[in-house]
Structure 1
Amino acid sequence: MTLAVLVGAGIAFAGAVIGTPETGPALAAALGGHSLPDTAPLGRSPAPAPVPPPPSPILPFNAKLTSDDIPVPGGGVRDGACSGSLVAPQWVVTAGHCFHDLKDARIGGRPRYTMTVTVGRLKDTDPGGHTAVVVDVRQSPVNDLAVAKLSAPVPGIAPVTLASTRPKVGEELQFAGWGSHSATVLGPSDHLKRGRFRVSGIAESTLEALPIGTRTVDNGPCPEDSGGPFFVSDDDDRSGTLVAIVNTGPPCPGPGAETIARVDVVADWIREQTGAA
């Protein structure tokens, strides 16, 4: 999707009237009784018109989580990445397994490795956005889902809204994530991946969703898309309602349904932890 920003600049015109003292009133009368506007002193240019700020990026609530010091058994470290959503100024929702111990068991509290979170970008090279590190993790009692507290609040970005009602079969959802472009060669994407899915089945705490159209590595979940949002977007693509997050699915870009974790079943818990809407 291409985002165009058009910035317009106004042109000011100023004129000076030179004549007798009576000239001004005469001209005012000719103009219907309105005086001429004040002009800038000769030799001084008018102040330039302020340039409005650019609009916020689409899907600004999307979050990219990256780490380069995850401990591995036997010593050493590895890289890792996940995806997520800003649900409150200082909190993101992601997959619970993005924070784990040496035995890959989900853990809470302060992470044992540095996890950097970037919010408000569509590409790594985009200007702007906000970066913070995770300082606290709370694992959900239901589903492979966690909330992660950031080292500082994210200003100027509206968090995504949490779904509070059960999704419906046939409902269309959007997907977004920063995962890899391969099932075997890992490494997060340098741009936000997007796709469209339709709810095909609903279970107690999860749902299944099938891709709309041909599935590719750029429009469906792959490794490191874990925690990425499935959501209903508002008309302007700048806010939305979080319905589910990426958990498990077929090898990308293979056919089959994604099994994704419902948010409505843990929405109250998320609000208690984060103050999310």
Structure 2
Amino acid sequence: MRTTRSRLARGSAFVAVVVAASTIISATAQAVSGVSPVPAGTYLFTAKIQNDLGACSAALVDPTWVITTTNCLTSEGQPVVAGPPTRPTTVTVGRTDLTSTGGHVLSVTSLVPHPSRNVVLAQLDRPAKGVTPIALGTAATVGEQLMAAGFGRTATEWSPNQLHAGAFAVSTVAGQSLTIDGTDAATTLCKGDAGGPLVRAGSGAPQLVALHDRSWQGGCLAESETRRTATEVRVDDLGGWIAQNTRNSYVALATGGALLDTRSGVGAPAGPRTGGSTIDVQALGVGGVPATAVTAVLVDVTAIKPTTNAYLIVYPGGSTRPATSSINASAGETISTTQVVKVGPNGKLSVYSQGDSTHVRIDVHGYFTNSGGGGLVALPHTRVVDTRDGTGTTTGTIPSNGSRTVTLTGDNALPVGASNALLEVTVVGATGGGYLTASPTGGTADPSSVLDYASGITSQGVAVKLSPTGQVTFVNRGPAVHLVMTLQGYVAASPTMGADLRPTQAVQVVDTRANGGAPIKAKGGLFINLSEAIGLPPNAMDGALISITAISPTSSGFLTVEPDRLFVGTPEGGLVVTNPSVSNFTAGHLARTTMVVTKVGRDVGGPFHPQPGKIGILNASSGTVHVVVTLHGWFNEPAVAGS
């Protein structure tokens, strides 16, 4: 079997079983000649996946994911690299007749190869609405009859436009594979069937057991071989792996947990980090984070009193260190940032330190998983709280060790039932350093910091838990300060609502300093296409999770971020500020980094539509400022009630 002849080759058509049954679950397959397509409306989960190398078959296992074999998506002998595909790839799903207009033709945005099997998950740019994914079944048994489906070659057609299926009997079951034989002399698998589903079809819903891997191709068009045995790669035991890589709903921890504190030796030996050093920190199974089925964590990263100007980079353990810093700190100050970081295959985060000497603390406040939690919804940025003028609260500073409760649902744009709010929180007027905690009002008090601030003004994107009535209580552990809050989004009450975050490796989208670049001028704008940065097709992205670092501002001010639109402005006065601040800075700051959740431009028709995937950043100051923008994740258009 293990000859070059025995593989399911990529051809002009990838995957189609050479034989069709008289009915889709018939025990007796039709002859290859005069084969009939599957009945309309059946096996809609079977997909055709295609790029410039050819076409294969696949199966929809989640509304936004299909599964196929790795060798369908790469040149022979070359591995599939996790992340965006290296060549444009499309999936046709939900139609058994490729000449029809039913179903969907979707773009592949990301690939997740299995570490040890000829299996890969391909993420779609949007859900295959109306198509029911196929669930995994139990392991096949010897002698069991299963159905194989695909869009590949038949005995008479080189590139058929119809989905075909045929019955096969299981002859052997090995650790990661099984072999099958056609149940009559005409049933076989051909070129183009690779990656297609082997299905248990009975009285209930179909179940996925394996994927087509290699075949002798006896009886296929233009083949002289007579053997019809095929080898399948098992997927019945990959449920955990599929689930871990296809859903990313957010679960907030009741209280933050420490993953790392170099002052006390939590997570690593005690002692400050020195310049150029990297430590690995366990993220799974620590601080309330489950040991499995976690794709990313939301953490508060704090640089504590560096002896010189310093920065930290936090990234997935075992991966290449990105070029963009997570947080920058001036000598002697303690300051934090919020970041969503993918967890490395080793279950760890890596922390790189640059600077003479600094202590580091990392607290985890939540994680992304396929189990429970809620979907994300990005909102237009809206100022909801300002203690300076009483917006959304009472007027006046929050004293040292004092608290302030605010309500964020109802009139303040969050729907009742939202579990978490995504906010930009700005601390104004601090005479020294301190930190804030945030807890759902009336619920479990969380003593961990959500924001460490320095003297003057500090702003940071944070995620805070809400009570059932939509309230959160902030406690100030520092000098009296004003608080200003801008709403950026929320976490829905259910994973079926909102959108699931698709975390990426940190991708630096722009650095205005690069190649001798100029800073953003006073009242000037910077326009960035986030979709193009990771190869997404137009309108695939509804919102994004980014970090923005403001560097070397020449005057005090702030930045705003919003979806691409027609900015209002004049040649004399520059662009007009209409959005609330997301990154406040003071003249002389070395660098400040903040997490931002933002909607992006979407083409909804009309003569002046925004550019899909694009955002605008406005420098609302009287001086210049350099900016670094890094993309950490994105999410598609959220599901809404009744959709």
Is 1:251 aligned to residue 195 of structure 2?
A: no
**How far has the Cα of 1:269 moved from its partner?**
0.7
Percent identity, aligned pairs only, is: 32
1:45 alignment partner in structure 2: none
1:145 counterpart (103, 114, 119): 119
**How far has the Cα of 1:188 moved from its partner?**
3.7
Is 1:154 aligned to residue 128 of structure 2?
A: yes
Following the alignment from structure 2 to structure 1, what is the Cα–Cα distance between the partners of residues 193 and 150? 5
Deviations 1:100-146 (A, max 9, x none): 25853333321121211111111112231111011101111232111
Following the alignment from structure 2 to structure 1, what is the Cα–Cα distance between the partners of residues 61 and 85? 19
Deviations 1:4-40 (A, max 9, x none): xxxxxxxxxxxxxxxxxxxxxxxxxxxxxxxxxxxxx
- The root-mean-square deviation of aligned C-alpha atoms, in Å, is 2.7
Is 1:203 aligned to residue 174 of structure 2?
A: yes
2:46 alignment partner in structure 1: 62
When structure 1 is superposed on structure 2, of 133-142 and 146-155 the one drifting more is: 133-142
Verify the 8 A CA contact 1:174 1:197 in the aligned structure 2. yes
1:271 alignment partner in structure 2: 243
1:192 alignment partner in structure 2: 163
Verify the 8 A CA contact 1:100 1:107 in the aligned structure 2. no
For residues 101 and 203 of structure 1, do their structure 2 counterparts lie closer, same or farther at Cα, with a shift above 3 Å needed? Answer: same
Following the alignment from structure 2 to structure 1, what is the Cα–Cα distance between the partners of residues 213 and 124? 22
For residues 235 and 166 of structure 1, do their structure 2 counterparts lie closer, same or farther at Cα, with a shift above 3 Å needed? Answer: closer
For residues 265 and 159 of structure 1, do their structure 2 counterparts lie closer, same or farther at Cα, with a shift above 3 Å needed? Answer: same
2:108 alignment partner in structure 1: 134
Verify the 8 A CA contact 2:217 2:228 in the aligned structure 1. no
Is 1:220 aligned to residue 188 of structure 2?
A: yes
Verify the 8 A CA contact 1:99 1:108 in the aligned structure 2. no
2:145 alignment partner in structure 1: 172
**How far has the Cα of 1:189 moved from its partner?**
2.2
Considering only CA atoms, is the larger Rg found in Structure 1 or Structure 2?
2
> SS of the residue aligned with 2:96?
coil
2:96 alignment partner in structure 1: 122
1:86 counterpart (56, 60, 63): 60
Verify the 8 A CA contact 1:86 1:92 in the aligned structure 2. yes
Verify the 8 A CA contact 1:243 1:264 in the aligned structure 2. yes
> SS of the residue aligned with 2:184?
coil
For residues 2 and 245 of structure 1, do their structure 2 counterparts lie closer, same or farther at Cα, with a shift above 3 Å needed? Answer: closer
When structure 1 is superposed on structure 2, of 200-209 and 220-229 the one drifting more is: 220-229
For residues 102 and 171 of structure 1, do their structure 2 counterparts lie closer, same or farther at Cα, with a shift above 3 Å needed? Answer: closer
> SS of the residue aligned with 1:57?
coil
> SS of the residue aligned with 2:245?
helix
1:229 alignment partner in structure 2: 197
**How far has the Cα of 1:181 moved from its partner?**
3.0
> SS of the residue aligned with 2:239?
helix
For residues 263 and 116 of structure 1, do their structure 2 counterparts lie closer, same or farther at Cα, with a shift above 3 Å needed? Answer: same
2:207 alignment partner in structure 1: 241
1:97 alignment partner in structure 2: 71
Following the alignment from structure 1 to structure 2, what is the Cα–Cα distance between the partners of residues 161 and 200? 23
Verify the 8 A CA contact 2:188 2:218 in the aligned structure 1. yes
Following the alignment from structure 1 to structure 2, what is the Cα–Cα distance between the partners of residues 148 and 223? 21
Structure with the larger helix share: 1
> SS of the residue aligned with 1:265?
coil
**How far has the Cα of 1:173 moved from its partner?**
0.4
> SS of the residue aligned with 1:264?
coil
Verify the 8 A CA contact 2:149 2:165 in the aligned structure 1. yes
Higher relative contact order (CA 8 A, sep 6+): 1
1:8 alignment partner in structure 2: none
For residues 234 and 129 of structure 1, do their structure 2 counterparts lie closer, same or farther at Cα, with a shift above 3 Å needed? Answer: farther
Verify the 8 A CA contact 1:99 1:107 in the aligned structure 2. no
Deviations 1:20-74 (A, max 9, x none): xxxxxxxxxxxxxxxxxxxxxxxxxxxxxxxxxxx9811111101122x34xxxx
Following the alignment from structure 1 to structure 2, what is the Cα–Cα distance between the partners of residues 125 and 101? 28
Structure with the larger strand share: 2
1:112 counterpart (86, 94, 102): 86
In structure 2, runs of 5+ residues without a counterpart are: 1-21, 25-38, 220-225, 248-369, 372-643
For residues 111 and 259 of structure 1, do their structure 2 counterparts lie closer, same or farther at Cα, with a shift above 3 Å needed? Answer: same
Verify the 8 A CA contact 1:101 1:107 in the aligned structure 2. no
Following the alignment from structure 1 to structure 2, what is the Cα–Cα distance between the partners of residues 242 and 232? 6
Verify the 8 A CA contact 2:189 2:228 in the aligned structure 1. no
When structure 1 is superposed on structure 2, of 191-200 and 93-102 the one drifting more is: 93-102
Runs of 4+ off more than 4 Å: none
2:596 alignment partner in structure 1: none
2:512 alignment partner in structure 1: none
For residues 102 and 230 of structure 1, do their structure 2 counterparts lie closer, same or farther at Cα, with a shift above 3 Å needed? Answer: closer
**How far has the Cα of 1:256 moved from its partner?**
3.7
> SS of the residue aligned with 1:268?
helix
Verify the 8 A CA contact 2:48 2:56 in the aligned structure 1. yes
Following the alignment from structure 1 to structure 2, what is the Cα–Cα distance between the partners of residues 188 and 105? 26
Following the alignment from structure 2 to structure 1, what is the Cα–Cα distance between the partners of residues 207 and 124? 21
For residues 2 and 175 of structure 1, do their structure 2 counterparts lie closer, same or farther at Cα, with a shift above 3 Å needed? Answer: closer
Verify the 8 A CA contact 2:46 2:60 in the aligned structure 1. yes
Following the alignment from structure 1 to structure 2, what is the Cα–Cα distance between the partners of residues 103 and 209? 25
Equivalent runs, 1:14-29 vs 2, <5 Å: none
**How far has the Cα of 1:265 moved from its partner?**
2.8
Deviations 1:74-117 (A, max 9, x none): xxxxxx00001000000001011122258533333211212111
TM-score (norm 2): 0.30
